[in-house]
Amino acid sequence: MWLDHVESSDAPQARIACALSSPGNAKLLRRLLTGRYQLTEAFDERLQDDDHSRFDIVLVDPLSLEYLRDRLRRYRERCSPVVLPVLLLVTGSQTPASWIRQELGHTVDDVLRIPATEIELTARVENMLRLRSLSLLQSATGRERDNVVRALRTLNTCDEILVRAREEEGLLARICQAIVATEGYRLAWIGFALDGPDRQLAIQASAGPARGYLDGVRVHWRSGVLASALQSRQTQVVTDITEDPERMLSSVRAREFNLRSVIVLPLPLHGGTLGCLVIYSEHVGHFDREPQQLLERLARNLCFGLRALHVYQESKRQAAEIRTLAYADSLTELPNRLSFLNHLRDRVTRWQEAGIAGAVLFIDLDSFKVVNDALGHQAGDQVLRWVGQRLRRLVRGSDVVARHGGDEFVVALSDVSRGRVRESDSVATKQAFQIKVQRIAERILQHLREPIRLGEHEHRQGASIGISLFPDHGDDADTLLERADTAMYEAKNGACGHICQFHGEILERRQQRLTLEGRLYQAIKSDQLTLHYQPIFRLDTLEITGVEALVRWPQPDGSLLSPAAFLPLAEETGMIVPLGEWVVATAARQLCAWRAAGHSLQMMVNLSVRQLHAAGEISGLADLVRPHVDPSAIEFEVTESALMPDPSTTEANLAALHAWGFRFAIDDFGTGYSSLSRIKDLPFQTLKIDRSFVSGSEHSGKGEAITRSIIQLARNLSLRTVGEGIETEQQCHFLREWGCEYGQGYWFSRPLPADDMARLLAAKVGRSV
């Protein structure tokens, strides 16, 4: 029973637990304290309770202290660092001072001797209470400080994760784990708001012992604390979930998982995405001001980190795309030149380390331009892709195949058949590898020549291959590639068949070619070339009906360089176009002079493939000629092989030139593979039988039969025939017999300088047959 005591106060009354064995003392206390404090008598039973904050102070007398000592001590320990003050009430002389001293500071904090006055008692009780509230205050600040420290630690850990993050995947999970691990939170999760009327939240990551809370729950933000946070974009806190059940998705489940308070931090992410970070604590009121501020900072950093990550990943993606573009050839999907060089550098290092041999093959497609021009770029692309695939299949997977650019491919081969080369057998091994590489190159050529269907055409792709060997021809990637290229160049010039292995002389020759190229360029520019003219005569009357203009290049030493020595170079470098124009203009001017002198001649001018295919130059040819003679005075000689590659352009250009008035002869007939039906449709007036048939004509047999049928064919097509390279009277005779009308050759006259030719014409020298 408690005494009534009048003392009004708004503050909650302090709670005093009384454990007094003497009913008299209890009564006294009740009288003095009731009203001012809340008194509890059944104190000893409640000591079992886990709640450590049920009482503010305890009053005991020696007897009950003896009885309660252990429990009281445990209880006080559990309260620590909050002090639960114990005041011992002793009656007069009843208790020995030594006993009291023993208890003081251990089980009790103060002693009051009764009887005592009310003032005395309340003063003591108030002191005890002050001690209690001071300790409470201190512990609260300590807890708060701990919370802040932990939140800071979380922030730092998360920042570190964010700074190191390179991928979004896994990052959010690590953040959740860090939050839970450093703070000891029950649960942390991150969700992204999904579009749609049902406002779902897709959980991206979660961590914590209460993760099961989310199992089977459809998380939405239509109502409750999640909705408030995401709509207002402001942090929301539920201090005590039990008190605020309607703000939770499921307060029942929250209780089940011991979730007592929650904080929801909205995350405005990149691209308008809205997310939230949600953290649950097992303590009521955990997310007070300071942890909240720190967690908000964490959320801000997380947003920033994710945005930065997004930018980083985007730029990484772009960089990868650029790299792919920079290192791969999009047409063939092979590595490109740059990538090949990188690969080759790695290979060379490996070859060096492993002491094995290696090789670089430089493959250049023959007449690829012609395919491109004749059949269109799509066909060209098809060939390049096909070649790429072929090459890839012809070498081992570990070898590198790349497109060097245009119609050039490169291959790096390693000699993996043998291990490290011992000094003693290195020569034999090298030779064996050299032979193997040569065979691979041959196999490549052979496979490339297999027919490819390009629309209605069947194409056989030729190629030239240059080879350089490691370590003989170079010990670094750049040199090896350059030397394989140089060797390819030689192969292209027919210096060593279609496959050429690098050797020292090549460099020398290449140097000479470079010099020659420069000199030829100068020669064309400064009008140093000259034309010789070889007469074409009637086989029956030996009357000169025309001349063939043949270019010569006078050298400083007085010698003349024949076309074979410089025309291939001019063809290759494109110098043939200005050279050809010069020939046409000079020949036309010369013809004009001879015609003025009364010689009715036809001028035969050789036209190269390149000139014939350069459609832009076609009308230019007429412009070059017309100031001097009518185009019909000029007959262009075109070889069979020049007709082959690009039939439609060739036909169009021939037709255009023919429309200007030019005439055409088919040169070196019999050496190519022209289809007769095709020639029939082209504007040819003359057929020149190749020298090889003429020189064999004396010896009857196969050559004779062919020559006869060529002449017959020309007749059928109403073409006049010129036998080329007549060196003997007998050849002249045969040809005439077989029906050939015209001839040209050393027997009649070698090609002559213009002056000599003029003299020949003037003399009208004829030879009797």
Choose the one of ligand C2E, Ca ion, none that binds residue 564, judging by a C-beta under 5 to 8 angstroms depending on kind.
ligand C2E
Q: Which is nearer to Ca ion, 375 or 587 (CB)?
A: 587
Neighbours of 97 (CB within 10 A): 10
- Give the integer Cα–Cα distance in Å for 660 and 390: 45
Q: How far apart are CA 210 and CA 650, in angstroms?
A: 82
- Compare residues 686 and 744 and give the one whose CB is closer to ligand C2E: 744
Contact call for residue 535 and ligand C2E (CB under 6 A): no
Determine, following the binding rule CB under 6 A, whether residue 635 of this chain makes contact with ligand C2E: no
Q: Quick check: 191 binds ligand C2E (CB under 6 A)?
A: no
What is the rounded distance in angstroms from the CA atom of residue 336 to the CA atom of residue 482? 16
Give the span between the Cα atoms of 760 and 765, in whole angstroms.
6
**Which token pair is 754?**
């213009």
Q: Are 440 and 475 in contact (CB under 8 A)?
A: no
Which of residues 275 and 751 has its CB atom nearest to ligand C2E in the complex? 751
Taking CB under 6 A as the criterion, which residues in 597-616 touch ligand C2E?
A: 606-608
Shortest CB 726 distance to ligand C2E, Å: 6
Residues that bind Ca ion (CB under 5 A): 606, 637, 667-668, 724
Residue 550 binds which entry of Ca ion, ligand C2E, none, with Cβ cut-offs from 5 to 8 Å by kind?
ligand C2E
Contact predicate 650/678, CB 8 Å: no
Query: Could you tell me which of 534, 591, 568 has the C-alpha nearest to residue 756?
Result: 534
CB of 685 to ligand C2E, least distance (A): 16
583 binds ligand C2E (CB under 6 A): yes
Phi, psi of 278 (to 5 degrees): -120, 130
CB of 668 to ligand C2E, least distance (A): 6
Binding characters for ligand C2E, 739-768, by CB under 6 A (x = yes):
-----xxx----x-----------------
3-state secondary structure of 498: strand
Site for ligand C2E in 691-750 (CB under 6 A): 691, 725-727, 744-746
Instruction: Identify which of 45, 36, 44, 42 has the alpha carbon closest to the alpha carbon of residue 15.
Output: 36
* Residue 631 sits in the site that holds ligand C2E (CB under 6 A): no
Q: How far apart are CA 299 and CA 6, in angstroms?
A: 52
CA 261, distance to chain mean position in Å, is: 49
Backbone angles phi, psi at 554, to 5 degrees: -65, 135
Minimum CB–partner distance for residue 639 and Ca ion (Å)? 7
Query: What are the two backbone dihedrals, phi and then psi, of residue 494, each rounded to the nearest 5 degrees?
Result: 75, 20
- Contact pattern from residue 651 through residue 670 relative to ligand C2E, giving x for each residue in contact according to CB under 6 A and a dash for the rest: ----------------xx--
Binding residue (CB under 6 A) for ligand C2E from 133, 135, 562, 685: 562
Under rule CB under 6 A, residue 563 binds ligand C2E: yes
Smallest separation (angstroms) from Ca ion to the CB of 607: 9
| Minimum distance of ligand C2E from residue 578's CB (angstroms) | 12
User: Rounded to the nearest 5°, which phi and psi values hold at 540?
Assistant: -85, -45
Q: Write down the least CB distance from residue 382 to ligand C2E, Å.
A: 31
Tell me if 358 contacts ligand C2E by CB under 6 A. no
- Phi first, then psi: give them for residue 191, nearest 5 degrees: -130, 155
Provide the token pair at 212: 């099961």
Is the Cα dihedral 369, 371, 375, 381 positive or negative?
negative
Taking CB within 5 to 8 Å according to partner kind, which of ligand C2E, Ca ion, none is near residue 563? ligand C2E
Q: Cis before residue 471, ω within 30 degrees of 0?
A: yes
Closer by beta carbon to ligand C2E, 6 or else 564:
564
Q: Residues in the site for ligand C2E, rule: CB under 6 A?
A: 534, 549-551, 562-564, 567, 580, 583, 606-608, 637, 667-668, 691, 725-727, 744-746, 751
